[in-house]
Amino acid sequence: MAAQAPTMAVPTDTQLIQAQAGLWRHSLCHLTAIALRCAVQLGALASPEEGTYTLIPLSYLLVDGVFIDGEASQKAIVLATTSRHYIDAALGLADWFKKDIAPPPSPFEDVHGATLFEESMALLDPESDKVFHEALAAHDHLGINTILRECHDLFKGVQSLTDCCGGDGTTARAIVKAFPHIKCNVLDLRKVIEKVPSDGIVNYVAGDLFHTIPPAQAVMLKLVLHFWSDEDCINILAQCKKAIPSREMGGKVIVIDIVVGSSSKEMLETQLLVDMLMLVCTRGRQRDENDWSTIFTKAGFSDYKIIKKLGPRGVIERQDSVSPTLWIDGEELQACAAWGACPADVRSTVTRSRYSQ
C-alpha cells in the first residue's frame, strides 16, 4: 500500500496575506540599510541652516558637525557595513560554510584575498580601507563618556592603565580627562602608532598584545576580543594577566564588549546581527555570559564580575579571588564565577551551534 502524503494545515486567507508580507519584509530588509547608505552619501542628513523637526537619537549619530557628549558622526559605520566588499563577502557565506579549511579564513578573506585593517586591504582598495578604519574608530569611541560616568567606581584608585588596541588614543584621553591622576599607555601596532602625533597626555607604545603588554595597574580591552577566536582571546587575556599586579595591589583587567543575551527583543537581534558581522568579516564572534566565563577560566582568572550592561555591551572586571557581582539593567545580583548560580532569566537563552566549543 502506497504511503500517504502527510497532510498540511491550510492557512487562512488572512494568514497567507500576513505570511506574504513577512516574506517581503525579510527578503527586502537589506534595502533599509541601502536607503540609509544613500541618504548618507547624498548628504541628506547634513545639519540644516534653518530650523527643522527635532532629530531622533539615531539621527544625531549620522549628522555631520553635530557632537553629542563629544561623540562624532557614526556615518562611516553605515558606509562600511553596506559596502560592496562586505555585501560580496556576505553573499559568499553559503560557499564558505561548505569549505573544509583549517583554520578557516573569514568569508571576507576568502572572497577578497585581503584582511580587514591590514595592508592587503589597503592594496586592494585604498578608499574602502580608509572607510573601514573610520568605521572602526567610530565604533570604538562611541559611548566611552557614558561608560566613565556609569562605571565611575571601576576607575577609582587606578594609578596606571594600558589601553590595548587603543588606536589614536581617544579613549585613553577621555579617561585622563575624567581621572587626571591615571597614567595611560596606548598599545597598538607600530603602523598605527607611527601616524599618531605625541600629545603629552598619554604614552603611545608600539607593540603586539599577543606578545607583551606594557605593565600597568589596569589593562583595558575595549571592543577588542570580539575580533578574535576563543583560542586567541585566551592568549590575549593570559598576556593581560602577566601585565597587572596582584589583586592586593589593585590589579585588574577591564573588558568592554558585547554580552549576548538581552530581555529586549530588539537589543538581542542587534547583538546577533553584530555577531553575523563578525562572522563575515573576521575570525571572531560575539559571546554570551557562559562563553565569557569559559575563556576567563581558561586564561587563568579564578573570578570576575560583570559590572554593568550598557545597551548591547557589558563592562567586565577581572581580578583574582574576588566575590563577583553581576549587574543587569541596574539591578545588583550576587553571583558565583560559574554562572549556574544566577537566576534562570538572567542566564543567556541564546543557543547557537557557532557558540559551541
Q: What is the pLDDT of residue 61?
A: 66
DSSP letters of 260-323? E--SSHHHHHHHHHHHHHHHHHSS---EEHHHHHHHHHHTT--EEEEEEEETTEEEEEEESS--
Number of other residues whose CB lies within 10 A of the CB of residue 241:
17
Instruction: Provide the CA 196 distance to its chain's centre, in angstroms.
Output: 23
Nearest C-alpha neighbor of 75 from the set 107, 41, 108 = 41
Domain ranges of the chain: 59-142, 145-355
Instruction: Answer whether 80's CB lies under 8 Å from 131's CB.
Output: yes
Cα(20)–Cα(9) distance, integer angstroms? 17
**What is the pTM (predicted TM-score) of this model?**
0.76
Spot the catalytic one: 85, 112, 141, 226: 226
51 burial class (0-12, 13-18, 19+ CB within 10 angstroms)?
Answer: exposed
What DSSP state is assigned to residue 12? P
Q: Residue 73's pLDDT is what?
A: 72
Q: What is the pLDDT of residue 29?
A: 79
Q: What are the distances in angstroms from CA 222 to CA 130, 140, 167, 286, 323? A: 21, 7, 11, 13, 23
Residue 345: all three cell numbers together: 532569566
Are 331 and 347 in contact by the 8 Å Cβ rule? The answer is no
Residue 211 is predicted with a pLDDT of 95
pLDDT on residue 344: 36
Residue 333's pLDDT is 27
Residue 226 a catalytic site member: yes
Q: Quick one: which of 233, 237, 226 has its CA closest to 304?
A: 237
Per-residue model confidence (pLDDT) at position 173: 94
Write the class of the CATH domain 145-355.
alpha beta
From first to last of the 357 residues of the chain, give the pLDDT tens digit. Answer: 556 666 667 777 777 777 767 777 777 677 677 777 887 778 766 655 555 555 566 666 666 655 555 556 778 888 888 899 999 999 888 889 888 877 788 999 999 999 988 889 989 999 999 999 888 888 777 778 888 888 888 898 899 999 999 999 999 999 999 999 999 999 999 989 998 988 899 999 999 999 999 999 999 999 999 999 999 999 999 999 999 998 888 899 999 998 888 777 888 888 888 898 898 999 999 999 899 999 999 998 877 777 766 666 677 776 654 333 223 222 222 232 333 333 333 333 322 333 333
Q: What count of other Cβ atoms lies within 10 Å of the Cβ of residue 174? A: 17
